């Protein structure tokens, strides 16, 4: 299998419908594991080669699953905001539960909670969302930049963690 086949068939089906879901960290980790395993298989990289996931993504010219999900969610949010308020998808995505009982403990996160967190990466205030969504250039610039910034911050965080781990590991063997 080549990267072109993976990009055309597997990758889209892997993330099908992700723009409408609230994915938790455990879901994203499982998707990332599959994504990395598939890319390693396609590129013929074995775990013994000791290539980090960041280098693998650079070599394959891919972004992380989470950055891709953020981009697709932004595209869906823009589409939702252009809909009339009475349309069912908009009512379902942004509506509150009118009746019903919630479990004790921390409430489950809703889709709109995810959108708010992602908008913070764009530095778009939730109250300005509709104005930005109606103007395509005003929307695309910050959202694409936010996804790139997210990927960069994620990469820096992973690199720093890897360096800390290696410095701790090498320090233990010298004592």
Give tens-digit pLDDT for 154-164: 888 888 988 88
Structure tokens at 109: 């996160």
Write phi, then psi, for 145 (nearest 5 degrees). -65, -40
Res 11: pLDDT: 79
pLDDT at 59 over 70: yes
Q: What percent of the chain shows pLDDT beyond 70?
A: 89
- Residue with the bigger pLDDT between 53 and 144: it is 53
- Residue 101, domain member (yes or no): no
125-143 average pLDDT score: 76
pLDDT in tens, 100-131: 566 777 777 777 777 788 777 767 777 777 77
Is there a domain that residue 103 lies in? no
Tens-place pLDDT, residues 80-94: 878 887 888 777 766
pLDDT value at position 99? 57
Tell me the pLDDT band of 14, cut-offs 50, 70 and 90. confident
132 within a domain of the structure (yes/no)? yes
Assess if residue 170 is contained within a domain: yes
The confidence score (pLDDT) of residue 95 equals: 64
Q: d(Cα 110, Cα 99) in Å, to the nearest integer?
A: 16
Average of per-residue pLDDT values in the chain: 80
Residue 13 lies in a domain: yes
For residue 163, is it within any domain? yes
Quote the domain boundaries for residue 16.
3-96+109-174
Tally of domains within the chain: 1
Residues with Cβ within 8 Å of residue 65, at least 6 apart in sequence:
14, 15, 28, 31, 32, 35
Mean pLDDT for 44-71 is 87
């Amino acid at each position: 299998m080549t990267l072109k086949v993976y990009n055309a068939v597997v990758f889209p089906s892997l993330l099908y419908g992700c723009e409408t879901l609230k994915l938790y960290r455990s879901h994203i980790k499982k998707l990332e594991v599959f994504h990395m395993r598939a890319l390693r298989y396609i590129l013929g990289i074995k775990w013994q080669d000791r290539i980090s996931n960041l280098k693998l993504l650079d070599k394959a010219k891919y972004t992380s699953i989470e950055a891709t999900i953020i981009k697709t969610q932004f595209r869906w949010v823009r589409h939702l905001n252009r809909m009339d308020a009475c349309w069912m998808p908009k009512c379902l995505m942004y509506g509150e539960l009118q009746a019903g009982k919630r479990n004790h403990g921390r409430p489950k996160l809703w889709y709109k909670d995810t959108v708010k967190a992602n908008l913070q990466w764009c530095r778009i205030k939730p109250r300005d969302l509709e104005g930005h969504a109606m103007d395509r250039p005003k929307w695309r610039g910050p959202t694409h930049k936010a996804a790139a910034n997210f990927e960069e911050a994620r990469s820096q965080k992973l690199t720093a963690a890897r360096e800390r781990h290696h410095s701790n590991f090498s320090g233990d063997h010298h004592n």
